[in-house]
Amino acid sequence: MDDGGVARLCAAALAALSDARSELVAGAGVEWQGSAAERYRDVVEDLLAALARVTRRLEHARGLAAEAARTAVAGPAGTAGAGGASWAG
Amino acid sequence: MGRVADPGGPGVALPPTVGALHVRGGVAGTRATLESIAAAAVRADRAVRSLAAAASCVRRAAAHPWPAAAHDAGHAAAAALAQVDRGDSGLAACADRAAALSVALGTAVRTYEDADRLARARVEAIMVVGGARTGELGPKGWALLALLGGRALTSMATYVVALRAVRCSPGIAGVLARQAPDLSGLPGVAGWLGGAVTTGDGLLPDGLGVPYGDDAELTILWAASFALGAMPGLWRPNGRPVEELAARLTLTGHVAARILGLPERQLVVAPLVGGSGRRSGGGSGGRRPGEERAPQGVGDVVAQVAALGDEPQPTIAVQRLDHADGTRSWVVSVPGTRSMDLLGGENPMDNTTNLALMAGLPDDMTEAVEVAMLRAGVGPDEPVLLAGHSQGGMVVTRLAASLQGTFDIDAVVTAGSPVSSMPVPDGVAALHLEHAQDAVPALEGRPNPDAANRTTVVRDLHLPPETFAGATLGTQPDDLIPVHEAWRYAETAALVDGLDDPSVRGFREVLNGVLGDGTARVTTQEYAVARLPVQGPDPARLKTRGG
């Protein structure tokens, strides 16, 4: 996998997160009245807030991954292309 | 319970005592609610799958090995990705919460459905089996039960009178007894006896009345099962005693008619021509283009049905609405029973037709309305509203299903009709009007289904007189007949027009799609219907028999 793959994985994860949030929002919009419906909507609201935080963290992580990918391509300063690069986990 | 909007002041609700209308079913009914919950469960399930896909991507990204050249930056990215998935507010935890939500919603739907079905099924089974076994006892058994029942009733009556005597007494006991709340609202026998003790003045109750609502339906189930059990031969109790009894009585009627040598008859549907007025007692029908006002709501629709009941002969009406945009729609009106005949006489709006409808057998009135619609020129793609009172409601409900593919039936309105076992196709919106004290809608032994496309509005006529739009409406029924009258249902329908309820609003949207904005040009064709002897008199000389 080349280093751009991490950013692509992050993008795919963000898209899936967006789908999940859309489904939850649509589910909360169904015609349903009463105290149970209010509790359900409260649960969905909390879950959406948590997913929003997850999304922000993931976007931050994607930014870091993109930066790491650029560093990996450019190499440390002055050593790009000299010798073989060693991989560390 | 819906609120009734004050027609003279938009957005102002009348006091709760005017809310004598109870709405069941429709887009906001229990079945619709369960369907909404099920839909929400499906959405939650999809969210779970999306979150699982997101988590998989995040884990793969976090495990990605970075070259030494990007070791520090890669490590930071990996650490950030790990944080996304970890902890109570991480992606994995969110996926678990969504999964729990989906499971909870699905469980709620199944639990409610099972409980609802089970409770009602148990009670119905008791009534059906109890009625059948009682019927099988025979005359000696019935006499014994009547004796025991009579003694029990006498004891109860004694207690009721004694308690009422205390209630009427001048002492402290009487004062306290008169403060007791009205117990007539309790379910079943408790309400019956409670009302006898706590309502009215005097030593004797005003009248115990007859059971209505759920009690009437269960009583009907018991009575039908009793009758079937009492008939010769073994009857195995099943879930459709009313339908089966109706079928047996229909067959009995046919056989009796043959034995008595009654003439063979054929159905005649004759358009009425000429006419001197729209809806008045004794007025005759006919084609009167442009003279009528287009119906603008359920009240107008049911009033048209009620007016047909005043015609001197059995009459149905097919009304054409020509709208300003060039489109056309139709309103078909069918009144109720006019004859108690069980032997298929001249008047097809009789008990022969009632029994055939309840038994699910072919009947003359359904055929008559279909013929009338074809003769009137109803187009296959032109929206149709079917409306009927009592038997007429059963006819139009049956037509809503049988005419699928022939006409575009959009909506059905029934008033005082037993239609609980008659299906209404998806795509047809139905509004069923009932009076709580009217036993006729309960004749099938079950309440109307709580479906998204079927809204039932039940009006309790026992509430104090109410004022609506400046008119005082008497709501104390003197006896059974007025609670079933078509004009009484027209009054109820007018109340429903002002009802601010989501299910009623849902129906109203469909209704307005047929009726338009009230500016349509109206042409009504009335048809007289009759069963005439195969080699009988001139069909032009139609006469009615007393109903």
B405 DSSP 8-state letter = T
SS3 of B440, please?
A: helix
pLDDT of res. B471: 35
Task: Name which of B36, B57, B58 is nearest A30 (Cβ-Cβ).
Answer: B36
* Inter-chain CB proximity B47 and A86 less than 8 Å: no
pLDDT tens, position by position, B74-127:
888 888 888 888 887 888 888 888 888 888 888 877 776 666 667 777 778 888
Closest-approach residue (CA) in chain A for B74: A68
Among B55-59, B220-224, B516-520, B540-544, name the one with the lowest average pLDDT. Answer: B540-544
DSSP B342: S
Q: Contacts of residue A75 in chain B, CB cutoff 8 Å?
A: 69
Least confident of A60-64, B216-220, B541-545: B541-545
CB of A23 less than 8 A from some CB of B: yes
| B287 has a pLDDT exceeding 70 | no
**Rounded Cα distance, B533 and B71, in Å:** 102
What pLDDT is recorded for position B348?
93
Residue B17 — very low, low, confident or very high, per pLDDT cuts 50/70/90?
very low
Work out the minimum CA distance from A78 to partner chain B, whole angstroms. Answer: 11
pLDDT of residue B362: 93
Question: B67 contacts in A (CB within 8 Å)?
Answer: 3, 72, 85-88
Nearest to A51 among B41, B61, B94 (CB): B94
Band (pLDDT 50/70/90 cuts) for residue B275 is low
Which one-letter amino acid corresponds to residue A54? Answer: V
How much is the pLDDT for B12? 34
Burial of B255 (0-12, 13-18, 19+ CB in 10 A): exposed
How far off is chain A from B452, nearest CA to CA, in Å?
11
CA distance B376 to B49: 55
Q: Residue B300 and residue B57: Cα distance in Å, rounded?
A: 62
The pLDDT tens digits for B149-167 are: 888 778 877 877 778 887 8
The distance of A6 to chain B (nearest Cα, Å) reads 5
DSSP label of B360? T
- ipTM confidence: 0.83
Lowest mean pLDDT across A25-29, B22-26, B180-184: B180-184
Question: Which residues have a Cβ under 8 Å from the Cβ of B397 and sit 6 or more positions away?
Answer: B386, B388, B412, B414, B417, B419, B422, B424, B430
What's at B139, amino acid-wise? P
Please tell me whether residue A20 adopts helix, strand or coil conformation.
Answer: helix
How would you list the strands of the sheet with B454-459, edge to edge?
Answer: B21-25, B454-459, B429-435, B408-415, B383-389, B328-334, B315-322, B521-533, B265-271
Give the confidence band of A86 by pLDDT, cuts at 50, 70, 90.
very low
Ramachandran category for residue B441: left, alpha or beta (phi over 0 → left; psi -120 to 50 → alpha): alpha
The pTM assigned to this predicted structure is 0.65
Residue A24 CB partners (closer than 8 Å, separation 6+): A44, A47, A48, A51, B43, B44, B47, B98
From residue B243, alpha-carbon distances to B221, B366, B445, B450, B484 in Å are 10, 17, 10, 20, 22
Q: Which tokens in the block code for residue A80?
A: 């790009």
Residues 36-65 of A with CB under 8 A from B: 36, 40, 43-44, 47, 50-51, 53-54, 57-58, 60-61, 64-65
CA Rg, chain B, in Å?
Answer: 30
Please tell me the distance in Å from A81's CA to the nearest CA on chain B.
Answer: 11
Task: Check residue B188 and give its pLDDT.
Answer: 62
Q: Which of B41, B55, B77 sits opposite A65 (nearest CB)?
A: B77
pLDDT of residue B528 exceeding 50: yes
Per DSSP, B441 falls in state: G
Q: What are the C-alpha distances in Å from B117 to residues B170, B241, B297? A: 50, 18, 35
* Identity of the residue in A34, A72, A79 whose CB atom sits nearest the CB atom of B70: A72
Say what the pLDDT of residue B106 is: 81
pLDDT of residue B540: 59
What CA–CA distance (Å, rounded) separates A42 from B343? 63
| Residue B212: both structure tokens together | 């209505």
Q: What are B384-414's pLDDT values in tens digits?
A: 999 999 999 999 999 999 999 999 999 999 9
Q: Which of B101-110, B195-204, B462-471, B518-527 has the lowest mean pLDDT?
A: B462-471
